[in-house]
Structure 1
């Protein structure tokens, strides 16, 4: 008999890329944050698995020796206020000072 079972799909998440504001074309940091989205899904009244399609979101972040200088500033919304809020909360939780030298950066996240 043939086993036709399928493995479950990974939870929906985000890919992120960080660019210096100098206009570099290649990201200096990138990764996936699917686990963060799983946590937000539990807290949110909206299911990420059933969320409408949304566009990539872009933010500005400033890092100094103590961490983020101020909350991330959205420069291009995803088109979904709950996604925007979850992303801003995620940026506040990341220990950016361990990942990036002091400076200003453009953070791009997409589905």
Structure 2
């Protein structure tokens, strides 16, 4: 059971391991969208968006519902929104740590040149 869970997590995070897929998920977190809407907002080729949606669909992270001649994509699990927010918080924490280390480095350099 633990091995299955670890494999699921690894596959899940592999599916997220692309900047365009993350951007698509962030946009879908705001609400369902079709490929044309995603393409317009992101500013990339529709084929690139479709390719990344295909990966996300194959891992059951998003799903599509046919609406006329278009497919409307949505997040399969609303907890993805929480995951993206947590990832942003982790990024911010790393950024804050890097800034404080840089500030300390600069303070130490300033002290060296004063002394």
Q: Give the TM bin, normalised by the shorter chain.
A: under 0.3
Greater share of strand: 1
More helix by share: 2
Structure number with higher relative contact order (C-alpha < 8 Å, ≥ 6 residues apart) = 1
Larger radius of gyration: 2
TM-score (normalised: structure 2): 0.25
